[in-house]
Chains A and B, each alone.
Chain A
Amino acid sequence: MARATDHPEDRVSHVDHTGSPIQIELTDGMQSEEGSTGLPEAGDAIDTATFEQILEMDEDEDEREFSKSIVFDFFQQAEATFDKMDAALETRDLEQLSQLGHFLKGSSATLGLTKVKDSCEKIQHFGANKDETGTRDEPDDDVCLKRLRKTIEQAKQEFHDVEKVLRRFYHDE
């Protein structure tokens, strides 16, 4: 449903064009161009179904104004949250870390950024003096902080990876 514009050349399809014939044949005929081909290749970092339903909210599939604003807001939010996490690490504020983990978990889950979400969940658990699944208690703050430090680094890395993919997808590199 591409909108008519004056510059058809600007409207580059988001379809991955490296392996088109095979990839297209894989998609169900009744799914349109968006199908599974519209998404950046991010492996298991992005849950396609979740992200696609956000893409479907876009009024214009070329501008992608809505999803773009959501995604870029998330970038900002994530950066800010990571900063807060670093500060909370400094002050050994486990509770705060748990809350921050939960907070970022919510939005990363909404966007389908699976890896970031999983790490945030761990941060939430560690901050609550639990093990990484949140089922057993871990009373030792130092152990928790050590795990937190590691997991936060991991979350940042995962975030930056997926950020790159998404920025490419939105032609903002």
Chain B
Amino acid sequence: MHRKTWVKRPGASATLVQIREDDLVDDVRDMILRKYANSLGRTFDAPDLTLRIVPRDSSRDKERLLGPEEEICRTLDHYFAGGQQVDEALLIDIPQRRTPKPSPRAGPGPQYLYHFDEPSRPVENGTDYFGTAAMAHSPAALATIPHDSRASHTTQNPAPHDRSIAVLNTGTIPPLPSPGGRTRTHYVARPRSTRTHTSSPTTIVNPGFSTRPPRQRRDSTASDSRPGNPATTIPAPPPLPTPPASEAPPTNRQASTPPTPNRVSSPAPKATGARKRRPKPSPLEAAAAPSPLQSMGLLDNSVPPINVLIVEDNIINLKLLEAFMKRLKVRWATAMNGRAAVDKWRGGGFHLVLMDIQLPIMSGLEATKEIRRLERVNGIGVFSLNGPASSGTPGVDGHGHAGGGGAADGAADGESGGHVVGEEDRLEAAKLFKSPVIIVALTASSLQSDRHEALAAGCNDFLTKPVNFVWLERKVKEWGCMQALIDFDGWRKWKHYSEDQATPKAGDKAQKNAATKPAVDGSTNPSNPASAGAGAGAKKKKPETERETGRGRKEEGVAGTRGAGCDGSAEAGERDGSEVRENGEAEAETKTEDHAQR
């Protein structure tokens, strides 16, 4: 009862695959993966494929996709009476890359393998640049022990290119573009390709299919038929007995995956050893054991847990940017004019502002200038990595503001020394401003003069509409990582401070932060259209927002924290979850100024 059907990749030559009379399209996809074991099989699962049928008689039938539940033979007979010809081959389509996922990450290695991957697959370069791990460790560590840690990581860790692991172990980010040294040698000596090739498809993808004979055969084919591939020159290391997700709860899909592929395939048992002797965890880690992985995992797609303020007066653009932020899984709020933007920003907690330039009421440039002015008079530290300003801020704020001692704050932060901050200019939640916010100007104008004007007004970057999402994602990551680093440092110090004070503030804040994005959006977004006079409105709105979020948190509890999934400091929230819930709603109300501070 076997038949054969022609299939082909678009533009490639057709090939026959064997089908049974009663096979569904779904089965055909399996067979196709066997046939295309190399080009498709290593990257895709059968359900990823779609089959397209081009009818012989286009006036009678339309070209369409085949559903997985269709009976292939009946469909073929229907479309191709008398048998399918070679030029009527079914077209195999592979999943389209989604906008935010395959950001053009620079870097070596077999990038193409990951291009089409969904987030379930480790994002190899998530550890590049600042990467996810960067968020879990303070820049202070980087500044103080870079050389030691680097040395130790070269000696201890046999796989220095496993940057994520190195970071976990040493608590610092290994020097990426290492200029010479042993790191480089290791790197060259063991091509990454071996490891990725063998590990990912074989050990991770397969289990689901292992009961199906065809797939098993495909696997062997896949590994046999790799001549010319550098992978074959080096024997594929057996996967470690440790299941990849052993260290993190399975719910934290992202948590386990980023470092996994390297780890699984690493032939060196030391890798596991090194993992276990994660040296002297920082106080933070010690407190919350699974935290580093967890926090990393929460950063879906390796986009840092930042809060973006979108300032746009055109609802179309606004909708699109919002959808994009949703996709990136970062938090966002919106404002539809410059005045509302400044007011929202004054609420604190934003890392990145996407600022349209021409806005009603107050232009984007004016709003930018105003924000910069307020930052200046409030002594919000300059953008620096050693961050004495940011580390000083928490303590200062702890006793400063209640008494209205704005001037004292300013002096302590050194930026506006002696300058008395006017009552109307004082930022109420100054502890939420770790560093000047990044402002990216958005405009449909391509005039160079506009660009200069924007930069002169205090924007950090400039972006021409239509926004390229790939570019935007990269910017969000870059700027966001930078901000998260600074913020995290401040947060941690502040956390220690508040522990000294024996208050559960930090946990409350973090929890609130992470709690239920919908609640936040639900309350902030509707306020946007009220553009005119949203000034005071936005400010009044804030407590409401927080209260709602607080309620959401109470209901959802810790699970909510995990679910929100975009907050780097959620670990603390979890840790303090019980306290937080005990503190209840009153706490949420009184601590509004704590929101979103990281």
Q: List the B side residues contacting A29 at CB < 8 Å.
A: 9-12
Q: Is the CB of B314 within 8 A of A50?
A: no
- Bound state CA distance, A69 and B50, in angstroms? 26
Among the 9-residue stretches B88-96, B158-166, B176-184, B240-248, the one with 4 or more Cβ atoms under 8 Å from chain A is: B88-96
Contact B98 A56 (CB under 8 A): yes
Q: Which of B9, B58, B93, B465 contacts A110 (CB 8 A)?
A: B465
B356 at the interface (CB under 8 A from A): yes
A11 to B69, CA, bound (A): 13
A54 in contact with B320 given A32-B94, A32-B96, A106-B465 (CB within 8 Å)? yes
Interfacial chain A residues near B11, Cβ < 8 Å: 24-29
Pick the most buried of B9, B10, B95, B115: most chain A CB atoms within 10 A of its CB: B10
Evaluate whether A8 and B66 lie within 8 angstroms (CB atoms) in the complex, with A29-B11, A33-B93 already known: yes
Which of B259-267, B296-304, B404-412, B466-474 is the interface stretch?
B466-474
Contacts of A9 in B (CB 8 A): 64
The answer to whether A1 and B96 touch (CB under 8 A), given A11-B64, A25-B10, is yes
B10:A109 contact, CB within 8 angstroms: no
A110 lies within 8 A of B324 (CB): no
The reply to whether A53 and B99 contact each other, CB–CB distance below 8 Å, is yes
Q: Are A102 and B358 in contact (CB under 8 A)?
A: yes
Considering only CB atoms, which chain B residue lies closest to A16 in the complex? B63
Q: Contact flags (1/0) for B34-70 with A, using CB distance below 8 Å?
A: 0000000000000010101010001000111111111
Distance in Å: Cβ of B54 to nearest Cβ of chain A: 5
Q: Looking across the interface, which residue of chain B has its beta carbon closest to that of A23?
A: B10
Question: Please, which residues of chain A bring their CB within 8 A of the CB of B189?
Answer: none
Q: Let me know if B63 and A66 touch, CB within 8 A.
A: no
> B465 to A13, Cβ gap below 8 A?
no
Q: For the complex formed, measure the closest distance between the CB of A61 and the CB atoms of chain B, giving whole angstroms.
A: 8
Known: A70-B319, A117-B444. A11 touches B65 (CB 8 A): yes
Q: Are A106 and B319 in contact (CB under 8 A)?
A: no
What mask results when residues 5 to 34 of chain A are scored 1 for a CB within 8 Å of chain B, else 0? 100110111010110110011111111111
Q: When the two chains form the complex, which single residue of A30, A69, A103, A134 contacts B313, counting CB atoms closer than 8 Å? A: A103
Interface residue? B106 (CB, 8 A)? no
A5 touches B314 (CB 8 A): no
Question: Could you tell me if B48 and A1 are in contact, using CB atoms closer than 8 angstroms?
Answer: yes
Interchain CB contact under 8 A, A106 and B324: no
Report if B323 contacts A (CB, 8 A).
yes
- The answer to whether B96 and A112 touch across the interface, beta carbons within 8 angstroms, is no
Question: Are B94 and A111 closer than 8 Å at their CB atoms?
Answer: no
* A143 is an interface residue with CB less than 8 A from chain B: no
B65 touches A2 (CB 8 A): yes
Complex alpha-carbon distance, A4 and B316, angstroms: 30
Give the residue of B66, B95, B444 whose beta carbon is less than 8 angstroms from that of A105. Answer: B444
Q: How many residues does chain A have at the interface if contact means C-beta atoms less than 8 Å apart? A: 51
Is the pair A56, B96 in contact by a Cβ cutoff of 8 Å?
Answer: yes
Q: Do A2 and B465 touch across chains, with their CB atoms under 8 A apart? A: no
Tell me which residues from 51 to 89 in chain A have a Cβ below 8 Å from any Cβ of chain B. 53-54, 56-57, 61, 66, 69-70, 73-74, 77
Residue B327 at the A interface, CB < 8 A?
A: yes
B536 at the interface (CB under 8 A from A): no
Q: Which residue of A lies closest to B50 (CB)?
A: A2
Residues of A within 8 A of B94 (CB): 30, 32
Cβ-based interface call for B502 (8 A): no
- Please tell me which one of the listed residues B9, B62, B316, B358 contacts residue A12 in the complex, with CB atoms under 8 A apart: B62
User: What chain A residues lie within 8 Å of B48 (beta carbons)?
Assistant: 1
Q: Is A154 an interface position by the 8 A CB rule?
A: no
Q: Are A27 and B320 in contact (CB under 8 A)?
A: no
Chain B residues positioned under 8 Å from A54 (CB to CB)? 320
Partner of B10, one of A27, A47, A77: A27
B402 within 8 A of A: no
B286 within 8 A of A: no
Question: Which B residues lie within 8 Å of A117 (CB)?
Answer: 444
Known: A4-B68, A25-B11, A117-B444. A13 touches B63 (CB 8 A): yes
Residue in B12, B54, B70, B324 whose CB lies within 8 Å of A8:
B70
Measured between beta carbons, the chain B residues less than 8 angstroms from A107 are 314-317
| Binary A-proximity of B449-476 (CB < 8 A = 1, otherwise 0) | 0000000000000000111111000000
Q: How far is the CB of B26 from chain A (nearest CB, A)?
A: 9
Q: Does B81 contact A (CB under 8 A)?
A: no
From the candidates A17, A27, A69, name the one contacting B58 in the complex (CB within 8 A): A17
Q: Do the beta carbons of A57 and B323 come within 8 Å of each other?
A: yes
Using CB atoms, name the residue of chain A closest to B466.
A50
Interface residue B586 (Cβ < 8 Å from any Cβ of A): no
Known: A5-B67, A13-B64, A29-B9. A109 touches B95 (CB 8 A): no
Are A57 and B62 in contact, CB atoms less than 8 angstroms apart?
no
Chain B residues with CB under 8 A of A27: 10-11
Are A8 and B52 also in contact (CB < 8 A) when A53-B469, A117-B444 are?
no
Quick check: is B447 within 8 A (CB to CB) of the other chain?
A: yes
B316-A73 in contact (CB<8A): yes
Task: Kindly state the separation between the CA atoms of A2 and B9 in the bound complex, as whole angstroms.
Answer: 17
A15 with B52: in contact, given A27-B10, A56-B96 (CB under 8 Å)?
A: yes
CB neighbours (8 Å) of A33 from chain B are 50, 52, 65, 91, 93, 96
A61 to B298, CA, bound (A): 28
Question: Is the beta-carbon distance between A134 and B447 smaller than 8 angstroms?
Answer: yes
A109-B96 in contact (CB<8A)? no
Q: Tell me whether A8 and B10 are in contact (CB under 8 A).
A: no
Interface centre among A8, A32, A106 (most CB of B within 10 A): A106
Write out, one digit per residue, whether chain B residues 95-122 have a CB within 8 A of any chain A CB (1) or not (0).
Answer: 1111100000000000010011000000
Cβ–Cβ < 8 Å partners of B99 in chain A: 53, 56-57
Chain A: CB-nearest residue to B472: A53
Q: Which residue of B lies closest to A114 (CB)?
A: B466
Q: List 8 A-B contacts (CB under 8 A).
A: A1-B95, A2-B50, A8-B70, A17-B62, A106-B313, A109-B465, A110-B320, A134-B447
- 7 additional contacts (CB under 8 A) given A56-B97, A56-B469: A1-B95, A8-B67, A11-B67, A17-B54, A27-B11, A33-B50, A56-B96
Top-10 shortest CB links A-B: A8-B67, A107-B316, A25-B11, A17-B63, A33-B93, A24-B10, A50-B466, A32-B96, A56-B99, A109-B465
